[in-house]
Amino acid sequence: MSLLEDRYTLLTLRPASASPLPVLLTHSPHEWLLTRHQAELGALMAAAMALLGFLAPVMLWGAAAVAALLPVRLLIARRRLRARYRADGAGILREGGATLPWAQLSSLRLRFHPHRRGLPHGEFVLRLGRTGAALLLDSTMAAFPVVLARAAEEARGRDLPLDAATIINLRVLGLWGRE
């Protein structure tokens, strides 16, 4: 094998007999002298195009699924934004909906998100759980301070296990003692 054969590959493109290109452009084969690197890159690009051709229908079905589920997600978000909550001695009540009695409260988690929804000071998200269900409240809701204070009092009184982040967030808000 010569040095020329070792470093270069001769690529010849011959026009197809039913080519839509004008005869002037296809009357002779086109030849390029390519380096091995260029030829390998061309092969990799051809493989990538074949993979893209295979994945395009999958991506199309994925986009269709997202488009179909988007109205459902928007309805859930609308329902959540319109929900009104209040806390009393029995539990958390949602207007026209379900309740979460304090006796069924099994978990409390409070997280702070510093850069959420473009709020200048971030927001807290409170997750109150019971067996098989959870209630998510964020600090933009009107009843959040009352619900959070009552939930922290209930968690402390019933000695619920809380993670470190929740305890720190409750301490920062002055709802948990400094033990």
Q: What is the mean pLDDT of residues 108-116?
A: 86
Question: pLDDT at residue 26 above 50?
Answer: no
DSSP letters for the chain? --HHHHHEEEEEE---TT--S-HHHHSS-EEEEEEHHHHHHHHHHHHHHHHHHHHHHHHHHHHHHHHHHHHHHHHHHHHHHH--EEE-SSEEEETTS-EEEGGG--EEEEEEETTSTT-TT-EEEEEEEETTEEEEEETTSTTHHHHHHHHHHHHHHHT----HHHHHHHHHTT-S---
Contact status, residue 116 vs residue 107, Cβ threshold 8 Å: no
pTM of the entire predicted model:
0.55
CA distances 67 to 53, 56, 73, 82, 125, Å, are 22, 16, 10, 23, 28
- The number of residues in the chain equals 179
pLDDT tens digits, 31-76: 555 666 677 777 788 888 888 888 888 888 888 988 999 898 888 8
Q: Are 128 and 154 in contact (CB under 8 A)?
A: no
- Per-residue pLDDT band for 7 (boundaries 50, 70, 90) equals low
Q: Confidence band (pLDDT; 50, 70, 90) for 165?
A: very high
Per-residue pLDDT for 148 more than 70? yes
Looking at the chain, the whole-number percentage of residues with pLDDT higher than 90 is: 15
